[in-house]
Structures are given as C-alpha cells and as structure tokens.
C-alpha cells in the first residue's frame, strides 16, 4: 500500500513540474490563464514598462517579492526524496506501539483475573469450612435427637408395661391427671379393648376431652403420613421429568 502511494505521488509531482515549466517556458499560449485571456508576452511587456515606472523606493519591495516567488517555485519544483523504507518503518513502529499497548492491557487483565481467582479460591475454602461446620452440627443434632427419641421410647415402653399391669379401675383416675400427649402415647400402645375400658371408667368430661384429643392426634398423624407420601411422590415425579427420554 505504501509503495503504491509513493509511486503515484512521484508521477503526480512530475506532472505538476512539467505543467509549471510549460507555463514558464511557453511565450504565448491560450491553454493556461487566470481571469481574462492575455498572452504571457504581453504581460511581460507590461511588467517591463511598469518596472521602469516604479520609483526607486519601491524597487526593493519588488525585488523581495520576486525573490519570494522564485523561492516558492523552486520549492514547488524540487522533488522530495522518497523513502519507502522509512515509511514502512514508521508503519511498523506504529503497529508495534499498538501491539505493546494491547499487550500491556492483556497483562493488566491477567493480573486482575489472577487476583480474582485467588479471592474465589479463598471464598471457596471459607464456604467449604462453613459447610463442614454445618454438617458437623447437623450430624450432632441428628445424633442428639435420635438419642432423645431412643430415651423417650425406652421410658414409654417402661410406662406401657407398668400401666398395662394396672387394673383399669386404678388406671382411670391416674390417666385423668397425666399429660394428654402421654395418655395418647399410652393408648396407642394399649390394646383397644383396654383403652375403651379405661375411658369408660374415667370422669365423663375428661373421657370426652381425651377421646377428642386422641382422634385429632390420630388424624394429624395420618395427615402427616399422607403429606410425606405425597412429597415423596412429587420428588419421584420431578426426577422422572429430568431423566433423558429414550428414543
């Protein structure tokens, strides 16, 4: 691209040089004019006559103007040295400067990404530590909860064995004073016949209260059981939806 522009530039300057030389060397021509059409010879005669009429004080100004115009034409007709190698070097230097700038930008970006990567690694480690701590706490909670359930089960089994051996007439007034949840737990472990007999021997109001509460608890347990089954079915259904189709 640079060599092509240089070649056309040389031709253009050469044509301009020929054009100006033609204007200067040809005495009479109608090809080049500015304003009205007058011959160069007539202009020269007029200039000579005007030069004779110019006062001595203005002669210095005329000489300076003539010298200035001559210098202008000499500069115009002087062909500058063309250095395509230098142009190529300038272009390459410009491209190298751009490459260096882009390289610095890339290096700065890499540094920022490395810092972010380190931050992400630290954040990941912190999250892993917190998750590990939560898992340990969850395991401890589940273990403690299971131990409490096992202990309650053992106590309930002991109470069930104790009250099963008690005659219904003695058990009825005792059950009236026990906690309702404990009574319901005992009734669940008792045979139905024994439960109905104890309720019939209790105070009527207390018997009705315990019967209603026992029914609500049973319904609540059935509701929770159905809820768990429904949740499990929904989870299975979602898993089936995410499985890939077999074509």
Q: What is the pLDDT of residues 61-89, one digit of tens each?
A: 556 656 655 554 454 445 445 455 555 66
Alpha carbons 10 and 8: distance in angstroms, whole number: 5
Spatial distance between the Cα atoms of 107 and 192, rounded to a whole number of angstroms: 82
> Are both 238 and 176 inside the same structural domain?
yes
Are both 182 and 141 inside the same structural domain? no
Q: Please check whether residue 145 lies inside any domain of the structure.
A: yes
The band of 122, judged by pLDDT with boundaries at 50, 70 and 90, is very high
Exposure of 207 by Cβ count < 10 A (0-12 exposed, 13-18 middle, 19+ buried)? middle
| The pTM of the whole model exceeds 0.85 | no
Same domain? For 60 and 123 the reply is: no
Do 152 and 139 fall into the same domain? yes
Burial of 147 (0-12, 13-18, 19+ CB in 10 A): exposed
Is 119 in the same domain as 148?
Answer: yes
Q: Which one of 82, 112, 137 terminates a domain?
A: 82
- Which pLDDT value is given to residue 120? 92
Q: Are residues 174 and 129 in the same domain?
A: no
Q: Is residue 90 part of a domain?
A: no
Q: Does 139 reside within a domain? A: yes
In a shared domain, residues 186 and 246: yes
Same domain for 138 and 176, yes or no, is no
Q: Are 189 and 181 in contact (CB under 8 A)?
A: no
In the chain, the number of structural domains is: 3
Q: Does 88 reside within a domain?
A: no
- Of 125, 148, 165, the residue that ends a domain is 165
Based on the domain organization, do 68 and 114 belong to the same domain?
A: no
**Domain contains 212:** yes
Please check whether residue 180 lies inside any domain of the structure: yes
The answer to the question of residue 131 being in a domain is yes
Distances (CA, A) of 183 to 171, 208, 210: 11, 13, 8
Q: What is the pLDDT of residues 202-223, one digit of tens each?
A: 888 888 888 887 777 666 555 5
Tell me the pLDDT tens digit for each residue of 152-171. 888 888 888 888 888 888 88
Range of the domain at 105: 96-165
Q: In the listed set 82, 117, 146, which residue is the last one of a domain according to the structure? A: 82
């Amino acid at each position: 691209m640079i060599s092509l522009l240089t070649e056309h530039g040389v031709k253009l300057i050469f044509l301009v040089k020929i054009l100006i030389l033609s204007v200067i060397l040809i005495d009479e021509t109608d090809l080049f004019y500015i304003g009205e059409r007058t011959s160069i010879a007539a202009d020269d005669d007029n200039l000579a006559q005007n030069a004779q009429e110019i006062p001595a004080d203005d002669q210095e100004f005329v000489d300076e103007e003539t010298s200035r115009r001559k210098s202008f034409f000499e500069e115009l007709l002087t062909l500058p040295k063309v250095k395509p190698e230098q142009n190529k070097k300038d272009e390459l230097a410009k491209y190298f400067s751009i490459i260096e700038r882009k390289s610095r930008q890339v290096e700065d970006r890499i540094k920022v990404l490395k810092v972010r990567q380190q931050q992400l690694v630290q954040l990941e480690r912190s999250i892993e530590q917190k998750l590990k701590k939560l898992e340990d706490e969850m395991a401890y909670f589940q273990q403690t909860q299971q131990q409490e359930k096992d202990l309650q089960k053992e106590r309930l089994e002991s109470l069930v064995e104790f009250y099963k051996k008690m005659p219904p007439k003695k058990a009825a007034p005792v059950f009236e004073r026990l906690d309702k949840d404990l009574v319901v737990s005992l009734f669940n472990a008792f045979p139905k016949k024994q439960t109905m007999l104890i309720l019939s021997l209790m105070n009527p109001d207390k018997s009705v209260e315990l019967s209603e509460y026992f029914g609500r608890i049973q319904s609540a347990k059935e509701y929770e059981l159905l809820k768990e089954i429904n949740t499990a079915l929904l989870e299975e259904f979602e898993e089936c939806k995410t499985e890939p189709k077999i074509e």
